[in-house]
Structure 1
Amino acid sequence: MDKALKSNRRDFLKIAATAGGGLLIGFNWSACDSPKMKVVSNEEIFDKAINYNSFLSISPTNHVVIYSPNPELGQNIKTSFPMIVAEELDVDWSNVRVKQAFLDTEKYDRQVTGGSGAMPHSWQRLRQAGATARQMLMEAAAKRLEVPLSSLTTDNGNVVHGSKKLSYGELATEAASLPVPENVALKDINDFKIIGTAVKNVDNDAMFTGQPLYGLDVYRENMLHAMIQRPPFGMKLKQVDAEAAKKVKGVKDVLTFKDNVAVIGEGTWPLMKARKLLKIAYEPIGGTLESTAFHDKKFDELLNSGAGEVKRKDGDVKTAFKSASRIIKSEYQCPFLSHSPMEPMNFFANVKEDSVELIGPSQTPDRARNAAAKICGIDPEKVSVALTRLGGGFGRRLRADFVEEAVELSKMLKAPVKLTWSREDDITGGAYRPAVKYRFEAALNDKNELIGYKLSGAGINAGNTTRENNFPAGAIENLEIRSAEYKSPITTNAWRAPITNFLAFAEQSFLDEVAEAMGKDPVELRLGLLDKAKERPVGEIHYDIDRMKGVIKTVAEKSNWGKKEGVSQGFSVYFSHRSYVAQVAEAKIKDGQAVLDKIYAVTDCGIVINPTGADQQVRGGMLDGMGHAMFANLTFTDGVADQKNFDSYRLIRMKEIPEIETHFIDNGIDPTGLGEPALPPTGGAVANAIYKVSGQRMRNQPFINQEGINNFNLGSPA
């Protein structure tokens, strides 16, 4: 059935033909994830275009241009957004052009990349923008041909009436003079031509040919380069001897600010050499210089004392556990992790007398702008932010610390500055995934029924360590979820699929332990709990039971769950960022050794815009979840990270990646999140498969550090 949307006239602004002619329609992204930019159909009239929130423009040459409002960090939003507009506009995809928008908060409420929220927010408005333009073009054609609007159709950038065709380019000027329709019909999803087809990333050619796209590519005549030596966590600068560093050819100066020592020069290579020659002494700010052993002790103190806040409590938990015939207990722990994007932190800042120019990769450009304005004591409106493509972010670039450093230095030097972090800076510089420890307890009665469930989480700078309303909450009569936090000088930040990136592994591993204790199949246990939640819900249900059951049943079918000879299977399912992902990992004995062989993933993220991009998102999330669960580990000694580069901070290698088979549920609902949901369940599926094949429970990450793991080959599955 066709959908229709009523447009608000304030959401749509149009102007008459400019010098080159053409129709320009602006649409309000305030409820989406977007900025304003000026967009026109060709570069010759670019300077004459009028700024709006965001624009769809149609040129006399039939080209459609849209400025992508959200920072692009690999989630493919720069491709999928224009696909939606082109679909409703009914144009030839080869005629679509897309460009990155600048920051402008005067007309946009949210211009952020994070939380897998861009598509859910923008889906309807993008469709409406394309459909409104199409409607106006058809009205222009009806007027010119003197035929009823109902007699017209569109096809590939043309309005069609019988054997006659009028291109959008021919009609653009006339359409610009018409009133914007208040109600526009959206396509039936069964009529989609572009959405649901494989479309290559719009930046592919530029990436493959090495064209400048990233923050590290930014160049400005006469700009200075800067690198910074930062203090260990919990320490401050005492003194510095920079004489030797200043003698390195290409080094212009060494500055200190806020306990940092900055080396300034003509390029990054002389700065890297000079930094090694700095003689710096630090002193403690006060308190304990923290190490990993200290953190382990804090976890136990918090969990044993029952500290923290009860986030959810259903039923009578105390009585349930007191009357239990059996109680299953387990603890799971994860370390700090670095985000480690391919492109280390960097930013360009040019502080002028009464304005600031910023260029670089940021997931939160408005945060960067406000930070710069505060440092310089000017209004945020006097700070411009141009976004480059991000060479990875995973939450690290939600912060603005690296932007603040660039601004501080440009202000001090009264010159444009490009700040670059080294790989070592990136790994040792903080904003890590929080280290967390969980304690689970499950109570079984004399009928072997699950009657009680307790989860206590303790995290370091983790905020709420739980997602208290996620499954199995709502399916168990007596449930208590508690969260405690220890404040540390070690800085943390959102890390891809915050909290759930480890919590899902712990929850899904523990549910397998409960299933084993009950003598039940792990898949059947979860389906039974979901049936219970649907028939007799306990408290509020914050997840879609049918969607979760759908991915569980589908992955069980695709993987032939429990029916394969010589294969040990591990199951996991999770809901996060509005989407549902179920996975089955398979391990086998090959040449006398157990290896991870294959993983199946079934995802319900609503309508899939671009199958190629969606598949890459799922695979990338799984590799992230698998690799970090198996190998990544960040430990501390006296406030200093022990791992400093990829020689000691272990990531997954190509030869260690098993076969991955992906499937998507085609349910026709509006798109939900996809950048993060595939990561959380992966660790649990892998851990449960490892247990099935080796008898070794994986309760601590990274798995490679667990005693006895040498019985399982974490190397090549081949």
Structure 2
Amino acid sequence: MENVTNSRRDFLKKSAMTGGGLVLGFNWFNVEAAPVIVADSAIAAGNIGFNSYLSIAADGIITIMSPNPELGQNIMTSFPMVVAEELEADWTKVKVLQANLDNKFQRQLTGGSGAVPHSWKLLRTAGATAKAMLIQAAAQKWGFPAAECSAAIGFVTHPSGKKSGYGDLAEAASKVPVPTDVKLKDRKDFKIIGTRVRNVENKKIVTGKPLFGMDVYREGMLFAMVQRPESFGMKLKSVDAAAAKAMPGIVDVVTFKNNVAVVGKSTWQVMKARKLLKVEYEKDGAIESTDDHNKLFLSLMDTGTATVRRKDGDVDAAFKNAAKVVKGEYQCPFLSHSPMEPMNFFADVRADGIELIGPTQTPAGARSQVSKLLNVPEDKITLQLTRLGGGFGRRLQNDYALEAAEVSSLMKAPIKLVWSKEDDMTGGVYRPAVRYRFEAALDASGNLTGYKLRGVGINSGNSTRENNFPSGAVDNLLIDSVEHKSPITTGAWRAPITNFLAYAEQSFLDEVAQAAGKDPVAFRLELLEKAKAKPVGDIRYDINRMIGVIKLAAEKSGWGKNKNVSQGFSVYFSHASYVAQVAEVEMQSGMPVVKKIFAIADCGQVVNLGGARQQVMGGVVDGFGHAMYSKLSFKDGAAEQKNYNTYRLIRMKEIPEVETHFVDNGIDPTGLGEPALPPTGGAVANAIFKATGKRLRSQPFIDQDVFKAIS
């Protein structure tokens, strides 16, 4: 990787390199995104009090900084598309640069599927403001009212035939007063938004350009790998590093906290030396195994102290008077995030400040944590973002960045810290293991009169989403949760909590529909219509949007009409978006095989149709693959699966056809990075039940009886 820190000053120098350019800065704390004009002298001095930059050079090249970390969600393409749309830019002349961490950015992180929803108006206003200034500059140049001029594809034109490119107008535009109120385009006039635009980094990715943290290289840097306790609940007792230190290329072995870092001149050398460490550990808390967790789940489900998350009506009376009660329990294992790129980070801790470079979903968090760890003011710490080779929530945590900074501080040298895949798999921050118990009360007519859900989670916090459907549609409802604290570290995993809850909940609703003698789709629509007509308590989901995706999924899949396949349905609301899915299963050699999944998404305005389709398909494959194949188990506090040879992921040949559709409802964008994952497990499980008559009560599905012959 090029040895350059892209500071604000560096960017401004680069973007104005051709001279006479217009540079606009947008204050991300201001919803109106009011721009600031920057003179060339100010550019040279770097006296800029803002953080999001749009530059137009004299040659017409438009440079847009993308602030959020890019981990494959295509934000580096979507953000510039929004700006370019309102700017009426020529997309072929748009360049995109990854912004580094800057205090003035707002929500400079990747997580929660919130980047585009948060920045939608800010980005549009940024482009519209620049366009207005370019039009004003042209109008002054030609002596016409600005209202008579228009912009398109990087040019300003007038009915008289006058025409000037943005590059020719940039210098004059920099002297135009900044408009305080600009009109945004009508959706019907969008030319870029809603189309298919290729990822701006595609060529760099496929030609192996140094984009990722693993590519970072600095002359004179040292490499480090850390030996951590192999079991959760253990701590470091003693270290004999003599053999490791004697290996070629090893500079030193240092101990900090509960860890031992081997530092040397190459990754291969430190990896070999680390194997020669003689480390002794001692107990430091509970030592837990998967068998212990299974017993805990059953015990805590009945005896644990539950926290009530939501209660509507008289639940006891509803169940006492029920004509029929339906019960079901569902359980999921821990999961590893398992990104292709292992954790890594570069740190150079010097007396005059700290330089950090690497892949993180939360760069501001990394900087503040390093600041606290080493007692260095944040304004003395710079952080340069690289592209992330996968994250899925794992890189919301910055433990690996802290390790790099601490080792650099101890060694007084620039350090590139690298985890092996085994480190990644066994090092914690997993999806929590959870068990759910559902109960439903039906009256004599098959109406749902009572509903109970209890979640028992291991380090999951609140293992429920108490305000999601069917809350608001049931007169008598109780949702509570029980928590077990474990030394096994957990964290957000793509679509936190809902990644498994949706499967369990949607599977159970199918059980209830069957007990009520009703079609699964009709049953859900009936509940939603009831919530619409007579809502119970607080409803925090949009009933009409959920109804919309359900009906469109039934239509596109031909629900109930294809007699050659068994269909399963699921719908879920998460991250402000709605996704309904229909899975189709065929029996082959006595085994159920998922052949196709229809996915209908309502995420508001789609910015990049190609990228959005990839997000939905990726979410479906992720949801299906992990529900079907993946698990992480423990023995004596240690993860039993340590690499891909034992941690099962979906294979290319196992991916079913995925057909995607989007609801065009005209509203602003809502989340899309995660919402397609939660419904998948339920749709597949319900289709398998339809084909085999057997309910899948736990994940991975491959461990269940219906798959025993092929597992």
The TM-score bracket by the shorter chain reads: over 0.9
2:182 is paired with a residue whose SS is strand
Q: Which residue of 1 aligns with 2:178?
A: 180
Residue 453 of structure 1 contacts residue 480 of structure 1 at CA under 8 Å; is this kept in 2? yes
Q: Which residue of 1 aligns with 2:396?
A: 398
Q: Which residue of 2 aligns with 1:92?
A: 90
- Matching of residue 115 in structure 1 with residue 118 in structure 2: no
Q: Which residue of 2 aligns with 1:309?
A: 307
Q: Which residue of 2 aligns with 1:249?
A: 248
Distance 1:593 1:466, change over 3 A: closer
Which of residues 353, 358, 361 is equivalent to 2:359? 361
* Mapped partners of 1:345, 1:28: distance in 2: 32
Which stretch shows the higher mean deviation, 261-270 or 494-503? 261-270
Look up the equivalent residue of 1:274 and give its one-letter code: A
Q: Which residue of 1 aligns with 2:9?
A: none
2:326 is paired with a residue whose SS is strand
Which of residues 146, 149, 161 is equivalent to 1:149? 146
* Mapped partners of 1:660, 1:85: distance in 2: 31
Identity in percent: 63
Q: Which residue of 2 aligns with 1:277?
A: 276
Which of residues 463, 470, 473 is equivalent to 2:471? 473
Residue 24 of structure 2 contacts residue 37 of structure 2 at CA under 8 Å; is this kept in 1? no
* Mapped partners of 2:303, 2:44: distance in 1: 64
Q: Could you tell me how far 1:479 is from its partner in structure 2?
A: 0.3
Residue 39 of structure 1 contacts residue 55 of structure 1 at CA under 8 Å; is this kept in 2? no
Q: Could you tell me how far 1:31 is from its partner in structure 2?
A: 6.5
Look up the equivalent residue of 1:135 and give its one-letter code: A
Q: Could you tell me how far 1:242 is from its partner in structure 2?
A: 2.1
Q: Which residue of 1 aligns with 2:5?
A: none
1:184 is paired with a residue whose SS is coil
* Mapped partners of 1:37, 1:381: distance in 2: 23
Which of residues 671, 683, 686 is equivalent to 1:688? 686
Q: Which residue of 2 aligns with 1:135?
A: 132
Residue 39 of structure 1 contacts residue 54 of structure 1 at CA under 8 Å; is this kept in 2? no
Distance 1:347 1:596, change over 3 A: same
Q: Which residue of 2 aligns with 1:8?
A: none
Residue 239 of structure 2 contacts residue 280 of structure 2 at CA under 8 Å; is this kept in 1? yes
Q: Which residue of 1 aligns with 2:593?
A: 595
* Mapped partners of 1:321, 1:443: distance in 2: 5
Residue 38 of structure 1 contacts residue 54 of structure 1 at CA under 8 Å; is this kept in 2? no
* Mapped partners of 1:342, 1:39: distance in 2: 42
* Mapped partners of 1:270, 1:569: distance in 2: 54
* Mapped partners of 1:38, 1:289: distance in 2: 60
Q: Could you tell me how far 1:46 is from its partner in structure 2?
A: 8.1
Look up the equivalent residue of 2:572 and give its one-letter code: Y
Q: Could you tell me how far 1:710 is from its partner in structure 2?
A: 2.9
Matches within 5 A, 1:158-307: 158-162=155-159, 163-231=161-229, 232-286=231-285, 288-305=286-303, 307=305
Q: Could you tell me how far 1:623 is from its partner in structure 2?
A: 0.8
* Mapped partners of 1:17, 1:267: distance in 2: 39
Residue 350 of structure 1 contacts residue 410 of structure 1 at CA under 8 Å; is this kept in 2? yes
1:227 is paired with a residue whose SS is strand
Q: Which residue of 1 aligns with 2:6?
A: none
1:539 is paired with a residue whose SS is coil
Look up the equivalent residue of 1:156 and give its one-letter code: I
* Mapped partners of 1:160, 1:76: distance in 2: 33
* Mapped partners of 2:145, 2:36: distance in 1: 36
Q: Could you tell me how far 1:38 is from its partner in structure 2?
A: 13
Residue 84 of structure 1 contacts residue 126 of structure 1 at CA under 8 Å; is this kept in 2? yes
Q: Which residue of 2 aligns with 1:24?
A: 23
Deviations 1:674-705 (A, max 9, x none): 00000000000011111111122111011111
Look up the equivalent residue of 2:53 and give its one-letter code: F
Which stretch shows the higher mean deviation, 697-706 or 587-596? 587-596
Q: Which residue of 2 aligns with 1:6?
A: none
Q: Which residue of 2 aligns with 1:10?
A: none
Q: Which residue of 2 aligns with 1:706?
A: 704
* Mapped partners of 1:650, 1:17: distance in 2: 50
* Mapped partners of 1:551, 1:329: distance in 2: 28
Q: Which residue of 2 aligns with 1:551?
A: 549
Q: Which residue of 2 aligns with 1:645?
A: 643
Q: Could you tell me how far 1:552 is from its partner in structure 2?
A: 0.5
Residue 551 of structure 1 contacts residue 581 of structure 1 at CA under 8 Å; is this kept in 2? yes
Distance 1:39 1:457, change over 3 A: farther
Matches within 5 A, 1:210-609: 210-231=208-229, 232-286=231-285, 288-305=286-303, 307-609=305-607
Look up the equivalent residue of 1:217 and give its one-letter code: D
Residue 66 of structure 2 contacts residue 96 of structure 2 at CA under 8 Å; is this kept in 1? yes
1:677 is paired with a residue whose SS is coil
* Mapped partners of 1:157, 1:383: distance in 2: 38
Distance 1:37 1:362, change over 3 A: farther
1:684 is paired with a residue whose SS is helix
* Mapped partners of 2:693, 2:169: distance in 1: 70
Look up the equivalent residue of 1:92 and give its one-letter code: D
Deviations 1:353-394 (A, max 9, x none): 131110000111111111111122111111111000011111
Residue 221 of structure 2 contacts residue 416 of structure 2 at CA under 8 Å; is this kept in 1? yes
Residue 23 of structure 2 contacts residue 37 of structure 2 at CA under 8 Å; is this kept in 1? no
Look up the equivalent residue of 2:326 and give its one-letter code: I
* Mapped partners of 1:84, 1:389: distance in 2: 21
Distance 1:39 1:238, change over 3 A: farther
* Mapped partners of 1:69, 1:238: distance in 2: 43
* Mapped partners of 1:594, 1:483: distance in 2: 34
* Mapped partners of 1:605, 1:637: distance in 2: 42
Q: Could you tell me how far 1:50 is from its partner in structure 2?
A: 4.2
Look up the equivalent residue of 2:135 and give its one-letter code: M
1:283 is paired with a residue whose SS is strand
Matches within 5 A, 1:626-641: 626-641=624-639
Residue 30 of structure 1 contacts residue 110 of structure 1 at CA under 8 Å; is this kept in 2? no
RMSD (CA atoms):
2.1
The runs of at least 4 consecutive aligned structure 1 residues that moved more than 3 Å come to 16-19, 36-41, 45-51, 590-593
Distance 1:37 1:637, change over 3 A: farther
- Matching of residue 663 in structure 1 with residue 648 in structure 2: no
Residue 24 of structure 2 contacts residue 38 of structure 2 at CA under 8 Å; is this kept in 1? no
Q: Could you tell me how far 1:592 is from its partner in structure 2?
A: 4.8
Structure 1 residue runs of 5 or longer lacking an equivalent are 1-12
* Mapped partners of 2:457, 2:25: distance in 1: 45
Question: What is the TM-score when the length of structure 1 is the normalising length?
Answer: 0.94
Look up the equivalent residue of 1:255 and give its one-letter code: V
Q: Which residue of 1 aligns with 2:3?
A: none
Q: Could you tell me how far 1:252 is from its partner in structure 2?
A: 2.0
Deviations 1:553-583 (A, max 9, x none): 0010000000102210000000000100000
Look up the equivalent residue of 2:25 and give its one-letter code: G
Which stretch shows the higher mean deviation, 525-534 or 587-596? 587-596
Look up the equivalent residue of 1:272 and give its one-letter code: M
Q: Which residue of 1 aligns with 2:66?
A: 68
2:685 is paired with a residue whose SS is helix
Residue 38 of structure 1 contacts residue 51 of structure 1 at CA under 8 Å; is this kept in 2? no
Q: Could you tell me how far 1:247 is from its partner in structure 2?
A: 2.7
Matches within 5 A, 1:10-89: 20-30=19-29, 50=48, 52-89=50-87
Question: What is the TM-score when the length of structure 2 is the normalising length?
Answer: 0.95
Look up the equivalent residue of 1:154 and give its one-letter code: A
Residue 604 of structure 2 contacts residue 665 of structure 2 at CA under 8 Å; is this kept in 1? yes
Residue 38 of structure 1 contacts residue 55 of structure 1 at CA under 8 Å; is this kept in 2? no
Q: Could you tell me how far 1:295 is from its partner in structure 2?
A: 1.3
* Mapped partners of 1:375, 1:595: distance in 2: 51
Which stretch shows the higher mean deviation, 218-227 or 236-245? 236-245
